[in-house]
Amino acid sequence: MFNALRARIRQGHRTVGFPNRPPVLPERYMGRPQWDATLCRADCDACVQACPTAALTRADGVLRIDLGRCLFCTDCTDACPTGAIGFTREYRMATDTREALVVNDRPYQLAKALDKQAKALFGHSLKLRQVSAGGCNACEADVNVLTTVVFDLSRFGIQFVASPRHADGLLITGPVTKNMELALEKTYEATPSPKIVVAVGACAVSGGLFADHPETHKGAGEIIPVDLYIPGCPPHPIAILDGLLRLLGVIEQQ
Amino acid sequence: MTTLPHVYNGQALPLAKVPELTMSEFRTVVLERIADGRRISSFFGMPHGDGIALLAVLANDRQGVLELCRTQVRDAYPALTPEAPQAHWFEREIAEQWGIVPEGHPWLKPIRFHPCYRKGSDAWGRDKARAIEPCVTDYFRVDGEEIHEVAVGPVHAGIIEPGHFRFQCHGENVLHLEIELGYQHRGIERAIIAGPGQRTAHYVETLAGDTTIGHATAFALAIEALGGTTAPPRAQALRAVALEIERLANHTGDLGALANDVGFLPTASFCGRLRGDFLNATALLCGNRFGRHLVRPGGVRFDLTTRIADELLKRIETTFADTENAVNLLWQTPSVMARFEGTGTVSCHDAAAMGLVGPAARASGVSLDVRNDLPWGAYRAHHVPTVSLPAGDVCARAYVRWFEVRNSVRFIAEEIAALPAGAIQQEPARPAPDHLAVALVEGWRGEICHVAITDDRGRLRHYKVTDPSFHNWFGLAMALRGQQISDFPLCNKSFNLSYCGHDL
Ligand code: SF4
Ligand code: SF4
C-alpha cells in the first residue's frame, strides 16, 4: 500500500496540456505536406511514380496530394529533385468529408463541429465502440493510448465502450477486410441512431496500401457513412484527439 | 543423419542447391531432425513445375544454422503433424493456400478463410460459387449435460483486433479453447510477389504494426542477402537500437495490461504512460512512434546525431527508472502475485512440442532467442543474454518480459556508446535470380521469419512470412486448459499475440 502511494507520488501528473497548450510533437514529425508550385518542374513526375499509394496526381500543372491515401512516408520528398514537396509540423488534418482531404492550391478545410442537435446529444458524452477491420494494430494502439493518463480522453466526455448497444458511434481502423465486412455491418446496426462514425488512418479512410486488394474494401466509407476522417499511418494520437475535439466543437479555430 | 545444405541467418543460396527429396525422404529427414531438437521456422508451399513445392526451413539453434529441403506434391501427402505437432498450423496453411491435403492431419481446417490460391483446387472441396464465410467451420465440441459453450468475437470488448474464441466449459472451468482467426487477412504475401516494388517495404511494415521494426528488419535482411549487399555497420547498430526500443515499448505495455487484467490499477496506469514514452523514443529516431519508414534494404533512412543520441539515452534512462518503479509494485503486491502464479501454465515439454517461440517459449523453460542462437547484424558481436524461466505460467511470462526490458536498456546504452561511424545506407544490389534467402529476427513476440525466393529475372516469385504469433496462438489455447474462463483475459494478455501478423 505504502509502496503504491510512494510510486504514485513519484510518477507524478502526466496529462498533456493539449488542447489548451500546443502539443509536443517529435522533432522529426511529418505533418501536413505542402507543395511549392514555384519549385516544381513541369516535365517531372518523379513523386507521382514514387508514391506507394497513388496519393499524388497531377493535373493542369497542379499537384494534388490525397491525404486520405498518404502514408506520410516521404518517399515523394526523397524522389523530388527540387524539394517542391515538404512536410510541415501541422498535425491538424481531420476533415468531415473525404473530398476535403486534399492538399492542392486551395485552402485546407478542417472538420466542422456537429450541428446543434447532435452537439446537444454528444457534446458532453460521446461513447464510441472501436472496430478494427484489418488495421495493423498501430492505429489501434494510438487510439488506445488516448485512454491513458497522458491524453485522458474521458476529461472530454469521450469513452470507449464494450458494446455497440451502449455506443453513440463507431471508430473504425483498417481498410475493412472482406472477412470483417459482416461484423462491421452488424456492429453498425447494433449501434442506436443517431450515430457517428470516425475513420482513423489511411486504411480506414481510403483502403490505404490495400485499396486495390481483392481481400479488402477501400475503407469504412464503402460500407457505412463516415462523419470524420483522420488521415495518417498511423495518425499521431494528438491528430486523432484534435479531430475528435473538432467534431465536438471543443476546438473550433481553423 | 542425412546432411542438408545450410545457411546462416540472412544468407541466400541458389534455389537449385535446396535438395529436392522424394516425399518419403523429406518426411524422414524433417521428422528425424525435429526429434533431434531442430524446429520448424517455416514450412510452406510454392507453385513449382506442375505442382506445389513444399519447402521446410529448420532452425538448428545449437549450431546456429538453418537447414533447408523441399519436396514436390500434386494434391496430397502424408501429414507431418501426427509425429511433429509443431507442423500442425503450417499444414493447415498449406492446405488452405494450395489445396494440398496433408492426409492424417488430426484437425484440418482453414486458418484465414480465403479462396485457395491454386485455381480449381480446394482442400475441402468447397463450392466455388459460395463465398467463404470467416470462421464458419466445425469446432471441437465437448458433449455432456453440464457442458456449455461460450463464443467470443470477432468484435471484442476492448480496442483490439478481431478473432473468434470458442470455449468448451464445465461451469467456470475451461476444458478446451479453440481459436479461429482470419478476420484481418489483407493478402499481403501475395501482393509482394513480383516485387520488390515501391510498395513492398510499406507492406512489410504493416504486417504487424506493433512490430514494424522487426518485420522491416527481416525484409531488409532478406533482400540484402539476395543481392549480396551488407548494410553499413552504423545502420545495423541503429536497426538493433530501434528493435530493442520496440521491445521496451511492447513489454512495458504488456506488463501494464497484465496489471490491468488483475485490477491492479497503479501499474496499469503508469505503464500505459511509459509505453508511450518508449514509442516517443522511436519517434525521436524517425518521427513515427512505430518506426515507420526507418528500416529499408541497404540500411536505415534516419541517422542519429550526437544531440539526438544524448536525448535518446536520457529518455530511455528516465523512462526505465519509472518503469522499474511501476513494475516492481507487481512483484511486491501479494494479490497480484496470487493471480499471476500458477495461472495458464504451459509445460516445457508442451511448449517445445508446439514449437512456441519468444517470451512465451522462454517462460516455459525453452531457451531460444534468435539474437543469441542465430544472430544477425549488430547481435553477432554484441550479445543480449537469453532469459529463461521454468514455471510456464502468467507470472513467468511477465517476469521474462521484465528481465528482457532490463537487458534491452543495457544493450541500447552500450550500442549507442559504441556506435560505429560512417554511412547509414548502401544502395542494395539487385536480387540474384533463382535464389532463396532466409531472414530471422527476434521481435518482441519472438521469432520472425521471412523467406524470399526470386524468379529467373530476380523478382520475388514467392515471399513467406511467419510472424511469431503463427507459432504461439495454439500455446494460448493450451494455456487455457483447466483454467477458469474468467482468467482468459489475463492468459491472453500474457501471450499478447498478433491477429494481423497471423492473418497477413
Ligand atoms: S508521403 Fe504520401 S504522397 Fe508522399 S510518397 Fe508517401 S504516401 Fe505518397
Ligand atoms: S493506416 Fe497505417 S497504421 Fe493504420 S491500420 Fe492502416 S497500415 Fe496500420
CATH number of the domain encompassing residue B250: 1.10.645.10
**Side chain identity at residue B5, one-letter code:** P
Strand partners, B410: none
DSSP state of A145: G
* Grid cell locating A90: 501541422
Residue type, B297: P
Q: Which three cell numbers stand for residue B266?
A: 497503479
Contacts of A76 (CB under 8 A, 6+ apart): A33, A47, A50, A51, A56, A85
Spatial CA neighbour of B295 closest among B226, B228, B246, B355: B246
The answer on B200 and B72 residing in a single domain is: no
Q: Which three cell numbers stand for residue B143?
A: 458433449
**H or E element at residue A187:** helix A181-190
Are B234 and B423 in contact by the 8 Å Cβ rule? The answer is yes
Contact A75 B198 (CB under 8 A): yes
State whether B316 and B456 are in the same domain.
Answer: yes
Q: Is there a contact between B29 and B21 (Cβ–Cβ < 8 Å)?
A: yes
Q: Look at residue A1 and tell me whether its pLDDT is greater than 80.
A: no
C-alpha to C-alpha distance for B168 and B159, rounded to whole angstroms: 25
Q: Do B288 and A51 touch (CB under 8 A)?
A: no
| Contacts A145 to B, Cβ<8 Å | 272, 275-276, 279
For residues B317 and B26, what is the distance between their CA atoms, to the nearest angstrom?
51
CA A93 to centroid of ligand 1, rounded, Å: 15
Q: Is B196 exposed, middle or buried (0-12, 13-18, 19+ CB in 10 A)?
A: buried
Residues with Cβ within 8 Å of B162's Cβ and at least 6 positions away in sequence, in order, are: A131, A132, A133, A180, A183, B153, B154, B155, B156, B183, B184, B499
B369 and B264 inside one domain = yes
Ligand 2 mean position to A139 CA, how many Å? 5
Considering the domain boundaries, does residue A124 fall inside one? Answer: yes
Task: Note down the domain range covering A184.
Answer: 116-247
ipTM entry: 0.95
CATH of the domain at A171: 3.40.50.12280
Look at residue B283 and tell me if it is in a domain: yes
Which of B87, B70, B76, B74 lies closest to B31, judged by CA?
B87
Q: Does A101 touch chain B (CB under 8 A)?
A: no
- Residue A4 belongs to a domain: no
- Hey, is B336 helix, strand or coil? helix
B187 touches chain A (CB under 8 A): yes
Q: Is A188 on the interface with B (CB under 8 A)?
A: no
Each residue of A112-123: pLDDT tens digit?
988 888 888 888
Residue positions counted in chain B: 504
The three three-digit cell numbers of residue A186, written as one number: 452488424
Q: Does B395 lie in the same domain as B285?
A: yes
pLDDT of residue A254: 63
B500 to A210: CB separation less than 8 angstroms, yes or no: no
Cβ(A209) – ligand 1 distance below 6 Å: no
- Residue A116: other Cβ atoms inside 10 A: 10
Q: Is the CB of A52 under 6 A from ligand 1?
A: yes
Residue B212 in domain: yes
Q: Tell me the ligand closest to A239's alpha carbon.
A: 2
Predicted local distance difference test score (pLDDT) of residue A220: 96
Q: Is the CB of A75 under 6 A from ligand 1?
A: yes
Q: Is A46 in CB contact (< 8 Å) with chain B?
A: no
Task: Give the whole-angstrom CA distance, residue A136 versus residue A114.
Answer: 29
Nearest-CA residue for ligand 1 atom 4 is: A76
What residues make up the domain containing B70?
Answer: 6-103
In a domain, A218, yes or no: yes
**Which residue of chain B comes nearest to A79, CA vs CA?**
B198
DSSP at A177: B
Specify whether the CB–CB gap between B89 and B111 falls below 8 A: yes
Q: Do B269 and A179 touch (CB under 8 A)?
A: no
- Closest approach of B158 to chain A, Cα-based (Å): 6
Among B183, B203, B206, the mutation site with the greatest number of ligand 2 atoms within 8 A of its Cβ is B206
CB contact under 8 A, A177 and B183: yes
Q: Looking at the complex, does the CB of residue B491 fall below 8 Å from at least one CB of chain A?
A: no
Q: Is residue B495 part of a domain?
A: no
Would you say residue B63 lies in a domain? yes
**Host H or E run for residue B21:** strand B20-21
Number of residues that this document lists for chain A: 254
In chain B, which among 132-161 make CB contacts under 8 A with chain A?
133-134, 154-155, 157-161
- Whether the bond between A234 and the residue before it is cis, its omega within 30 degrees of 0, is yes
Q: Residue B448 is inside which H or E element, if any?
A: strand B446-454
Q: How far is the CA of B356 from the centre of ligand 1 (A)?
A: 38
| Beta-strand runs (E) in A52-192 | 56-59, 62-66, 85-87, 102-103, 126-132, 158-160, 169-173
The residues of chain B scoring below 50 in pLDDT are: none
Cα distance between residue B217 and residue B211, in whole Å: 10
Examine the fold and report which residue of B52, B77, B103 is the final residue of a domain before the chain moves on. Answer: B103
Distance A87 CA to ligand 1 centre (A): 10
Q: A191 in a domain, yes or no?
A: yes
Of A149, A164, A179, the CB nearest to B185: A179
| Residues 108-167, chain A, touching B (beta carbon < 8 A) | 129-145, 147-150, 160, 162-164
What pTM was estimated for this model as a whole?
A: 0.96
Ligand sitting nearest the alpha carbon of A211: 2
Q: How many domains does chain A have?
A: 1
Please give the share of chain A, as a percent, with pLDDT higher than 70.
Answer: 100
DSSP output for B451-474: EEEE-TTSSEEEEEEE-HHHHHHH
Q: Which of A233, A236, A240 to mutate to test the pocket of ligand 2 (most atoms within 8 A of CB)?
A: A233
Q: Cβ separation of B186 and A177 shorter than 8 Å?
A: yes
| C-alpha to C-alpha distance for B18 and B465, rounded to whole angstroms | 19
The H or E element containing residue B47 is: strand B39-48
Ligand 1 atom having least distance to the Cα of A54? 8
Domain edge (last residue) among B103, B124, B144 = B103
The residue whose CA has the least distance to atom 8 of ligand 1 is: A51
Q: Are B237 and B419 in contact (CB under 8 A)?
A: yes
DSSP 8-state code for residue B140: -
In a domain, B138, yes or no: no
> Does residue B216 lie within any of the structural domains?
yes
Average pLDDT over residues A235-246: 96
Please check the confidence at residue A3 and state whether its pLDDT lies above 90.
no
d(CA A187, CA A184): 5
In a domain, B492, yes or no: no
**A150 to chain B: nearest residue by CA?**
B273
| CA B13/CA B7 separation, integer angstroms | 8
Q: How far is CA A234 from CA A39, A87, B77, B152, B289, in A?
A: 29, 16, 43, 27, 9
CATH of the domain at B69: 3.30.460.80
Return d(Cα A231, Cα A208) in angstroms, integer. Answer: 10
Report in angstroms the alpha-carbon separations of A216 from A177, A203, B208. 4, 10, 16
Angle at B157 between CA B156 and CA B162, to 5 degrees: 20
Domain tally for chain B? 2
Q: Are A234 and A201 in contact (CB under 8 A)?
A: yes
In this structure, are residues B463 and B452 in contact, taking their beta carbons and an 8 Å threshold?
Answer: yes
Test B184 with A134 for CB contact under 8 angstroms: yes
Give the pLDDT band of residue A53 (cuts 50, 70, 90). very high
In a domain, B108, yes or no: no
Say if the Cβ atoms of B208 and A136 lie within 8 Å: yes
SS3 B44: strand
Strand partners, B67: B6, B58
What gap in Å lies between CA B356 and CA B299, rounded to an integer?
30
Mark whether B289 and B409 lie in a shared domain: yes
Beta bridge partners of A102: A66
CA-based nearest residue to B66, from B57, B79, B54: B57
**Nearest atom in ligand 1 to A56's CA:** 3
Q: Could you say which of B65, B85, B103 is where a domain stops? A: B103
For B111-232, strand residue ranges (E) read 147-152, 164-170, 173-180
Give the span between the Cα atoms of A129 and A31, in whole angstroms.
27
CA distances to A24, A102, A245 from A252, in Å: 20, 20, 8
Distance A148 CA to ligand 2 centre (A): 21
B272 touches chain A (CB under 8 A): yes
CA distances from A214 to A175, B183, B233, B303 (A): 11, 14, 40, 38
